[in-house]
Chain A
Amino acid sequence: MINKKYSFKDFMGVDLTKVDSKELNNTEIVGSCFWQENSPKKQVFPPTMTGVIFRRCNLDNCVIPDGNTVEPDCTNKQIKIFTVDDQNNTIVGGEDWIVDDALEKVEKLHSANQIADQMVEK
């Protein structure tokens, strides 16, 4: 059963841990964005939530409690922003990196430089 309240919605940065898990349990959540910027392994959902099937959702940086299912068409990476300094050690921005459980860099997600690389490849 598709959970209409939580499907096809933008919950970017929203903390749902205080939501009554009965609103979520044993439902299917489709096409929603739960992305949490620069907060890898963040608890977003109520810890007692169970039986939820996520489809086509952005679950990056979200911890999914045991007993729930993340379908392959979701994204559930852990992503951290590492600051970029200029020559004067002033922070001028940040790069998004996929990180491991120890929050160490694994792979660059993308950046303006990557766009430049793509242009060169063309």
Chain B
Amino acid sequence: MALSADTIWEIRANGNTDNGGGFVDGASGTDYSQQDAAQVSYTDLAIDAADNTILTSATTPFTAAHVGNILNITGGSGFTQGRYQIVSVDGSNKATVDRACGSTGSTSGTGKLGGARILVDAAFNDMVNGNIAYIKADGTHTLTGDCNGGDASQTAPIKLYGYNSSRGDNPMGTNRPLIASGNYHITLENYWFLYNCRFTGTDTNILVFQVQSIARNCYMYNSSGTSNRNCAYFYADGGAAFDCELICTNGRAAETTGNGIRTRLFYCYCHDSDVGFRITGGSCIVGFCIFDTCVTSGLDTTTDDGTTVFNCTFYNCGIGITATDVTRYIVFNNIIDSCTTGISETVQNDGNWIDFNNFSNNSTDRTNTGTGDNDTAYSPNFTDAGGGDFSLQTGSSCIGSALQLRIGI
């Protein structure tokens, strides 16, 4: 056996490296992971003389309440350090764990059962496909190294949820847990989903996205004084960010590499950065995002493989959208306001489809870009653009002026 796919982990700033940190959803015991301190600290673990999946403790006997908890064996001659699930406890207080935990007959093992973990690389590495981890906003979580777990799968992703005071409370703003990344980063490996967290840092990237890894309702602020760093770095196929706020003072709020194909960015607010989103991977889709005060450009695409940008707002950027040698490029339903240049292409390529966009208050609306048949030039009447509120006031001419569904309704 191995740790159960149904294991739910608890990560707290006030947790402990050695705590068990998890409980198997639906198990018959009592969940001791949702507390700062371990429920039991063992110093006399003993492995059965005949079966190395059976443990006992004379001073703190195992009980039925321990079933489902994760035991972290931290030491002892003949013991294999690691985290084990208490699968069952019999009437003789013998605990059966999910796999062999050392040599038969070993004694004086140490370990902890219950209690939350802290946010370190090992916490990520212990997770198996299908696991969930809850990250509590009980103080700043400080990284002391990079955190990179193992790949999950299409059928069993690993999910990390930030919460404030009770699991599932889906916090917003500063109620979300803060992760001080410093000079380190977290990699969301394949099929890892992350929700409801805040990050500060200066590393080359704050979050690295691998295949189909997704962040939602996250805040990332990269304040590095070095140029061309990133908040969100999409390294592989199909990463996505939804409902995130991204700020990278001297770099890119988001960036894809050439490998970062099919990256999706939806409902994100990228602002006060050098570049909002730099795209070099193919077939990326950007929708319903706001790019505000991005010094060089809101969106910078250099791929020739079908970037799609729609229903976005570009405000007060050097160039709203800049495209270098781009083909199969679709840009529609965007408001481009108060930029030095609205849309700029290196070479006009009428095979790109750029239409239904609203240009207003830009020094130059288009460079090497044709005028769309349905482009407009209305003042959008943002509620408070300077204050970051880009909702359209009632009566804005932009409301209902762009491409919208008109058949089948």
- Taking Cβ atoms with an 8 Å cutoff, the residues of A that contact B are 7-10, 12-13, 31-33, 35, 37-38, 56-58, 60, 73-75, 79, 81, 83, 91-94, 96, 109-112, 115-116, 118-119, 122
Residues of B within 8 A of A (CB): 13-14, 17, 118, 138-146, 148, 151, 178, 180, 182-185, 187, 200-205, 208, 223-229, 233, 235-236, 257, 259
The CB with the most chain A CB atoms within 10 A, among B148, B185, B224, B226, is that of B226
The 8 closest A-B pairs by CB, nearest first: A8-B139, A33-B180, A35-B182, A10-B180, A93-B228, A94-B226, A33-B142, A75-B144
Q: Chain B contacts of A31 at CB under 8 A?
A: 13-14, 118, 139-142
Please determine whether B225 and A57 come into contact, CB atoms closer than 8 angstroms.
no
Q: How far is the CB of B139 from chain A (nearest CB, A)?
A: 3
Write the nearest CB–CB distance from A58 to chain B, whole angstroms.
Answer: 4
* Chain A positions within 8 Å of B224 at CB level: 37
A residues less than 8 Å from B205 (CB atoms)? 112, 115
**Shortest Cβ distance from residue B13 to the other chain A in the assembled complex, whole angstroms:** 5
Let me know if A110 and B13 touch, CB within 8 A. Answer: no
- Chain A residues, CB < 8 A from B144: 56-58, 73-75
Identity of the chain A residue whose Cβ is nearest the Cβ of B228 in the assembled complex: A93
Nearest-Cβ distance from residue B173 to partner chain A, whole angstroms: 16
8 further A-B pairs in the complex, CB-CB below 8 A; given A35-B182, A37-B226, A58-B183:
A12-B180, A12-B202, A57-B144, A74-B144, A92-B227, A93-B204, A110-B204, A119-B259
- Report the separation of the CA atoms of residues A91 and B236 in the bound assembly, to the nearest whole angstrom: 26
CB-defined contacts of B178 to chain A, threshold 8 Å: 10
**Which chain B residue has the least Cβ–Cβ distance from A79?**
B183
CA A121 to CA B384, docked complex, whole Å: 49
How many angstroms from the CA of A10 to the CA of B181 in the assembled complex? Answer: 9
B5 to chain A, nearest CB (A): 21
Interface secondary structure of B, over-half rule: loop
Complex contact B226–A58 (CB within 8 A): no
Closest partner residue, chain B, to A8 (CB atom): B139
By a CB distance below 8 angstroms, the chain A residues around B227 are: 91-94
The minimal Cβ–Cβ distance linking A113 to chain B, given in whole angstroms, is 10
Closest residue of chain B to A81 (Cβ to Cβ) is B226
Q: Contacts A73-B17, A94-B226, A112-B205 hold; do A56 and B142 have CB atoms under 8 A apart?
A: yes
B218 to chain A, nearest CB (A): 16
Docked Cα-Cα span, A73 to B17, in Å, equals 9
Bound-state CA distance A111–B141 (Å) is 22
Q: Smallest Cβ distance from A95 to chain B, in angstroms?
A: 8
A58–B180 Cα gap in the complex (Å)? 9
Q: Which residue of B lies closest to A2 (CB)?
A: B14
The CA-CA distance from A66 to B257 in the complex, in Å, is 45
- Say whether, besides A31-B118, A32-B140, A37 and B13 are in contact (CB < 8 Å): no
Contact B143 A10 (CB under 8 A): no
Q: How far is the CB of B278 from chain A (nearest CB, A)?
A: 12
Whether the pair A56, B182 counts as a contact (CB closer than 8 A) is no
* A9 to B140 alpha-carbon distance, docked (Å): 5
Chain A residues positioned under 8 Å from B235 (CB to CB): 115-116, 119
B13: nearest chain-A partner, CB-CB? A8
- Cβ–Cβ contact B200 & A10, under 8 A: yes
CB proximity of A30 to chain B, nearest CB, Å: 8
**Cβ contacts under 8 Å, A7 to chain B:** 139
Report 26 cross-chain contacts, Cβ distance below 8 Å, ordered by A residue: A7-B139, A8-B14, A8-B140, A12-B180, A12-B182, A12-B201, A12-B202, A31-B14, A31-B139, A32-B142, A33-B142, A37-B202, A37-B224, A57-B144, A58-B142, A58-B182, A58-B183, A75-B144, A91-B227, A93-B204, A93-B229, A94-B227, A109-B183, A112-B257, A115-B208, A116-B235
Q: Using Cβ atoms and an 8 Å threshold, which residues of chain B touch A109?
A: 183
Contact yes or no, A96 B139, CB < 8 A? no
